[in-house]
């Protein structure tokens, strides 16, 4: 009992803006700045390190290898006062087939980067010479992306216009493409507008690079995008100036030559694919063969019950009751894209037969959803109604009538209220959902009749609902 209450309070706290995010402390910008290389060719010279303070010496480091039995001496290669990084090189070079671990020995405070790293050496010699280019997606698309928020959640999903691009590299470097260092630069074409914004504060008004901001809070915001496969993003509906994207590529572990790529111009307003509703943007970002991958990344702060921080330590009826309470909370308390994420998550679970559909549970979920829609502002209510229609469409055909009726009957009051407004959201969708919820109560039928009598904007839909009820 007390454990369930504690977990409920914990999940509720993480849903509130003031408690949801505690940005990590980055510490001093020092350490092994590229710790995840994994593998390097045998003609690589060393690994990159950002020193604490002004200088480091070879005595500050230790290198070990289980395969390379030589005396491993380290030297520090500096690149001039304009480049802070240094390269830690082995005096005798790397040995193919060996793995090496580099360690910084002196004690230190909090660092942004790790103080050790390991790398394996391939039996390959590569050159950084060859053709490089930017491969731009043919047109912008409406997608959902995770963006920084000022509400305390650190990151939250949002619909946006997205133009993806990738860096193509010489064939010899293809095995090391993820190990290369990419620098992208985005700015308006001369005379076309102000400087490009940062994603953390300006993406809603100006196109900006998506991946660049990942370092601002000390953690990754996306697993889909990287420095190699990046995107230009801007909020839906912004009339953005023509932008110019340029890029350079280096392989600093091998050499420090900067390879500049031909620049490309990007028009974020022309021929944009898809719709910018929350649902359309989210669905465009999910792989239909494995939607949970995208749901987990984009919506995880709204889908605590699908992706808990632990196994919750509960089984059987206790866990079932806790999960039902979590879904009810999520459906009755809307913020941001939460109704779209929550209903899309439920749609996936019901479509695959992985969550309960007993009438009492459906009634409780519908009651919570009615509260959420009834208490939401107009745009949020419209997003919830759109996602609810999608959920119904995803129900298995043999069960759709029963599930929809039990789920939607308690939502009918909020749906009829929405239909009666001066600007009803998605009136055709609302009418369909009302009909699927079964015969309205006498009080709701009187409200529908009043819509017709007043000649309100949704008169046609209200008349159609009443006609269906008369034929039943």
Provide the mean pLDDT of the chain: 88
Is there a domain that residue 145 lies in?
yes
Tokens standing for 231?
């995107």
Nearest to 32 by CA among 127, 91, 114: 114
**Residue 281 belongs to some domain of the structure:** no
Does residue 275 lie in a domain region? no
The verdict on residue 245 lying in a domain is yes
- Mean pLDDT over 208-232 rounds to 69
Distance in angstroms (rounded) separating the CA atoms of residues 385 and 362: 17
| 141 and 247, same domain (yes or no) | yes
Helix ranges (H only) for 220-337 are 278-284, 291-299, 316-332
Rounded mean pLDDT, 385-403: 94
Distance CA(365)–CA(66), nearest Å, equals 58
Q: Are residues 302 and 262 in the same domain?
A: no
Residue 352 within any structural domain of the chain: yes
- Same domain for 198 and 91: no
Q: Is the pLDDT of residue 154 over 80?
A: no
Query: Residue 81 belongs to what domain range?
Result: 31-121
CB 266 within 8 A of CB 136: yes
Question: Is 305 in the same domain as 421?
Answer: yes
In a domain, 22, yes or no: no
Q: Per residue in 321-379, pLDDT tens?
A: 999 999 999 999 999 999 999 999 999 999 999 999 999 999 999 999 999 999 999 99
Looking at the structure, do residues 335 and 465 belong to the same domain, yes or no? yes
pLDDT score for 297? 87
438 and 378, same domain (yes or no): yes
DSSP summary character for residue 111? B
User: Does 223 have pLDDT greater than 80?
Assistant: no
pLDDT of 312 > 70? The answer is no
Whether 253 and 172 share a structural domain: yes
Rounded distance between C-alpha atoms, residue 6 and residue 349, angstroms: 26
Please report the beta strands in 52-130, taking only residues with DSSP state E, as ranges in sequence order: 61-64, 74-78, 86-90, 99-104, 116-121
Q: How many domains does the chain have?
A: 3
Where do the H-state alpha helices sit in 56-163?
none
How many residues are present in the chain? 472
Residues 117 and 175 in one domain: no
Contact 133, 261 (CB under 8 A): yes
Which domain-ending residue is among 95, 121, 147? 121
Nearest-5° Cα angle at 286, 365 to 319 = 35
Task: Provide the pLDDT for residue 310.
Answer: 56
What CATH number corresponds to the domain at position 112? Answer: 2.60.40
> Are both 254 and 291 inside the same structural domain?
no
259 and 225 fall within a common domain: yes
- What pLDDT score was predicted for residue 19? 40
In a domain, 274, yes or no: no
Q: How far apart are CA 335 and CA 338, in angstroms?
A: 5
Summarize the confidence of residues 71-90 as an average pLDDT.
90
Domain end residue (candidates: 78, 101, 121): 121
- Res 49 pLDDT > 60: yes
Boundary-marking domain end, from 121, 144, 178: 121
Higher-pLDDT residue of 464 and 296 is 464
Same domain, 163 and 68: no
| Residue bearing tokens 């809307």 | 334
Q: What is the pLDDT of residues 160-187, one digit of tens each?
A: 999 999 999 999 999 999 899 999 999 9
Evaluate whether residue 143 is within a structural domain: yes
**Percent of the chain clearing pLDDT 90 (strictly above):** 67
Cβ contacts of 472 within 8 Å, gap of 6 or more: 439
Q: What is the mean pLDDT of residues 49-57?
A: 88
* Tens digit of each residue's pLDDT (9 = 90 or more) over 252-284: 999 989 999 999 999 999 889 888 999 999 999
Mean pLDDT calculated for residue range 129-134:
95
* 223 and 197 within one domain: yes
């Amino acid at each position: 009992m007390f454990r369930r209450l504690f977990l409920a309070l914990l999940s509720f706290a993480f849903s509130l803006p003031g408690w949801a995010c505690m940005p990590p402390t980055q510490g001093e910008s020092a350490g092994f700045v590229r710790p995840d290389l994994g593998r390097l060719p045998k003609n690589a010279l060393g690994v990159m390190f950002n020193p604490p303070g002004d200088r480091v010496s070879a005595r500050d480091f230790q290198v070990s290898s289980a395969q390379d039995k030589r005396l491993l001496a380290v030297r520090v290669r500096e690149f001039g006062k304009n480049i802070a990084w240094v390269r830690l090189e082995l005096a005798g070079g790397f040995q193919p087939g060996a793995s090496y671990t580099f360690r910084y020995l002196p004690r230190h405070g909090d660092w942004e980067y790790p103080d050790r790293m390991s790398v394996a050496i391939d039996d390959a010699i590569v050159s950084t010479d060859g053709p490089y280019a930017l491969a731009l997606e043919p047109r912008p698309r409406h997608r959902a992306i995770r963006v920084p928020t000022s509400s305390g959640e650190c990151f939250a999903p949002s619909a946006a216009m997205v133009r993806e691009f990738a860096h193509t590299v010489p064939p010899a470097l293809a095995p090391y493409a993820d190990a290369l260092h990419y620098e992208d630069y985005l700015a308006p074409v001369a005379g076309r507008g102000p400087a490009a914004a940062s994603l953390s504060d300006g993406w809603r008004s100006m196109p900006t690079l998506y991946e660049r901001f990942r370092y601002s809070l000390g953690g990754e915001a996306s697993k889909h995008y990287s420095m190699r496969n990046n995107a230009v993003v801007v909020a839906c509906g912004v009339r953005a100036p023509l932008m110019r994207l340029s890029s350079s590529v280096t392989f600093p572990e091998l050499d420090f030559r900067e390879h500049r790529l031909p620049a490309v111009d990007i028009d974020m307003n022309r021929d944009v694919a898809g719709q910018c509703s929350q649902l359309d943007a989210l669905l465009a970002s999910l792989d239909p063969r494995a939607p949970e991958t995208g749901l987990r990344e984009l919506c995880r702060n709204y889908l605590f019950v699908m992706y808990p921080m632990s196994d919750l330590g509960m089984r059987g009826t206790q866990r079932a009751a806790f999960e039902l309470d979590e879904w009810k909370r999520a459906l009755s308390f809307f913020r941001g894209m939460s109704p779209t994420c929550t209903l899309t998550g439920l749609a996936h679970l019901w479509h695959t037969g992985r969550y309960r559909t007993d009438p009492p549970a459906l009634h409780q979920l519908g009651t919570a959803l009615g509260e959420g829609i009834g208490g939401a502002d107009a745009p949020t209510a419209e997003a919830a109604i759109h996602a609810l229609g999608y959920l119904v469409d995803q129900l298995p055909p043999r069960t759709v009538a029963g599930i929809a009726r039990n789920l939607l009957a308690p939502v009918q009051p909020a749906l009829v209220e929405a239909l009666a407004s001066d600007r009803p959201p998605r009136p055709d969708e609302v009418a369909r959902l009302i009909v699927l919820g079964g015969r309205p109560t006498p009080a709701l039928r009187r409200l529908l009749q009043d819509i017709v009598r007043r000649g309100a904007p949704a008169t046609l839909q209200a008349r159609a609902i009443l006609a269906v009820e008369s034929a039943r």
